[in-house]
Chains A and B, each alone.
Chain A
């Protein structure tokens, strides 16, 4: 049973445009959500997070939106740059419980020149 789902295995976006990566979760106990970015031959690196008390968190070009009623979150990258080409993992956990973090399967983002 996949508790965190990323239904788009890949996404191609023109450089300079907005990239939108989507994620759904099924476990209503999750109240903390994260995005990680992974380049080939490297471990995932933390990108941005959001707790369930917020519906938006912004960090530079990256914004995460959370829709609790729909159990859906999205990562927006504006503007998209060539270095953003990577695999993006959505992840979820329970806040302040040091609970295991559950990952989705990832979305491979290609930024086209």
Chain B
């Protein structure tokens, strides 16, 4: 049973650049949520995708956008990167209607220099 997989695991970008992170949900799951975890903080909710639409959004600027594909996989895009975007980006999946327990991938470490 494949768990949540994310890629890439680590990447370094320069201020002003754009980044795309990818996520495949756990087998049988149809909902993907993205979280940002800065150093010393808990995961902060970015947004949730279901049926290829953004269903909920946290307090993040429009520079953060996403997409969900028909196979339920998802991408997180961040434009005009800032130093403060350096963080661990976590993807979590769940099954709609049973969404109160989410399962995380190992995350993508983004460093902005």
Interface residues of A (CB under 8 A from B): 4, 6, 32, 34, 36, 41-46, 49, 89, 91, 93, 95-106
Contact = CB atoms under 8 A, between A and B. Distances in A.
B100 A95 contact: yes
Contacts of A101: 33, 45, 100, 102
B104 interface: yes
Interface string B71-106: 000000000000000000010001011011111111
Contacts of B94: 98
Contacts of A45: 104
Interface of B: 4, 31, 33, 35, 40-45, 48, 50, 55-56, 58, 90, 94, 96-97, 99-107
A99 B101 contact: no
B37 to A, nearest CB: 8
A43 B107 contact: yes
A98 B31 contact: yes
B44 A103 contact: yes
A-side binding surface: helix, strand, loop or mixed? loop
B96 A98 contact: yes
B41 A105 contact: yes
A103 B58 contact: no
